[in-house]
Structure 1
Amino acid sequence: MPTLLLVRHGRSTANSSGILAGWSPGVALDEHGEQQAKTLAERLAALPLQTVVSSPLDRCRQTLGPLLATRPELTLRLDERLGECRYGDWTGRGLAELAKEPLWATVQTQPSAATFPGPEGESLREMSHRAVESVREWDAEVEREHGPDAVWLACSHGDVIKAIVADALGLHLDLFQRISIEPASITAIRYTSVRPYLLRLGDTGDLGGLAPRPRPASSDGEQGRDDAVVGGDTGTR
């Protein structure tokens, strides 16, 4: 199955100001985030990306700008299901202020029970469901179009990526706050017919090891390509 690279957008003006941006319009990358986007394009240069999908929000599209500028063969495809959680009436408020709200404790300790207030608010369960549905559908499409060794990228947001990772690891959503995803980091997942594999989590270093490798010869009695390596991955496949 293909390898999915989940990219969190670079640091935004809301991140650096301690504001919960949500779907607020006009939230852009700050100066540091712009540099992160340039560095991201350099880190991805060695990987043969086949498809790039993104949240429609500006900070994600800006993050992908330098990458797309150097890879004219790639077309950006947008999917609202990868958009930020809809925080409803919390949108645009300061995190320090929100930490005093009773709902904050629920978000921290039992996120599966959290629904954000207001007519535009959604639950974290709904966010998780749509995000996982999106990446699994795109992954299947990428395999149909480009084969099982394809590498593709989806740019999204911190909570969204954490929910996708929790699903891949078989974790209950209530445990997803144990996962940390930094701005401009890359998380890699390979879905297989057996199970998902988490290859990188919040990676900010070299990505060369994610490039496709030659397929091993298969015969009766040999390890299946999608089997876990007993004793740990050897780094040779």
Structure 2
Amino acid sequence: MPTVILVRHGRSSANTAGVLAGRTPGVHLDDTGVQQAGAVGERLAGVRLAAAVTSPLERCRETAREITSRQPAALRATTDKQLSECDYGEWQGRPIKELAKEKLWRTVQAQPSAVTFPGGESMRAMQDRAVAAVRRHNSRVGAEHGDDAVWLAVSHGDVIKSILADALGSHLDLFQRIHVDPGSVSIIRYGETRPFVLGTNTHAGDLSWLTPPKKARSRRRRDDAEVGGGAGPGAQTGRS
């Protein structure tokens, strides 16, 4: 059961301007965003990434490059439009403070599963295609690199929140309770029986523990939940 590292792109020029960028072309990382992406790359430098997939939008591709350039072995990210930003339609490119006055804004906050952006995509469709993409890539990585493989997906705030909500078994209407900052790392391990959310919205800390030893020392099923909570990463305990 491979592990996916979900990274939201670093801070962009649209983030600092308070504009809903959506799929607007030409939105790049600002200086802080480049630093955030580089910091993620340093956190992941000790993790053997089997693959990297990114939204095709510039801010995500730039983030992915900062991360993959710090891998010890050459790794190039591929793009997948199914991990792209939500299509906000007529909301795209408008100031957030202006959108907050729209009647639809309240529905976005309270019942996102009922929202279809004018001229754009529904939030339910966004979640469906993003979750399907992650699970598809996860199966591919597992088939090519084994169940202990770790891979990277770079995407957008609402997209990652919707993926996390699915992994947590939460209804899309509760996904606004999840916070995903620019340059943050969230982690999901997909098992045969259920996903395990290993981290959300993290900003610091070495992640080399995600790379398993070359020879597994425990025969415990990794898709079982440990009764009592377990001993944590690096522990050599397990069932015999």
Which residue number in structure 2 is paired with residue 226 of structure 1?
223
TM-score of the superposed pair, with normalisation by structure 1: 0.94
For residues 60 and 205 of structure 1, the distance between their equivalents in structure 2, rounded to whole angstroms, comes to 20
Q: Which runs of 5+ in 2 are unaligned?
A: none
Q: Give the structure 1 partner of residue 49 of structure 2.
A: 49
| Residues in 1 aligned to 2:155 and 2:7: alpha-carbon distance in whole angstroms | 6
Say which SS state the counterpart of residue 56 (structure 1) adopts: coil
Give the residue type in structure 2 aligned to 1:44. Answer: L
Match of 2:118 in 1: 117
Report the AA paired with residue 83 of structure 2.
Answer: L
**Offset at 1:17?**
1.0
What number of residue pairs does the alignment pair up? Answer: 231
Q: Secondary structure of the residue that 2:69 maps to in structure 1?
A: helix
- Specify the code of the residue in structure 2 equivalent to 1:145: E
Offset from partner CA, 1:58-89 (integer Å, 9 cap, x none): 00011122223333521211100000000000
Matched residue, 2:175: 176
Please provide the CA RMSD for this pair: 1.2
Match of 2:161 in 1: 162
Alignment of 1:134-145 (within 5 A): 134-145=133-144
Kept in 1: contact 2:185–2:199 (CA 8 A): yes
Give distance in 1, aligned partners of 2:222 and 2:217: 8
Q: Which deviates more, 225-234 or 41-50? A: 225-234
TM-score (norm 2): 0.93
Q: Aligned-pair distance for 1:90?
A: 0.2
Instruction: Give deviations 1:129-181, integer Å, cap 9, x for gaps.
Output: 00000000000000000000000000000000000000001100000000000
Contact 2:27 2:59 in 1 (8 A): yes
Give 3-state SS (helix, strand or coil) of 2:188's partner: strand
* SS state at 1:34 partner: helix
Task: State the secondary structure of the residue aligned to 1:226.
Answer: coil
Q: Which deviates the most, 30-39 or 80-89? A: 30-39
In structure 1, what is the equivalent of residue 80 of structure 2? 79
Match of 1:27 in 2: 27
Deviation at 1:233, TM superposition (A): 2.9
Cα deviation digits, residues 4-31 of structure 1 (max 9, x gap): 0000000001111110000001000111
* Contact 2:69/2:75, CA 8 A, preserved across alignment: no
C-alpha separation in 2, matches of 1:70 and 1:191: 25
Percentage identity across paired residues of the two chains: 55
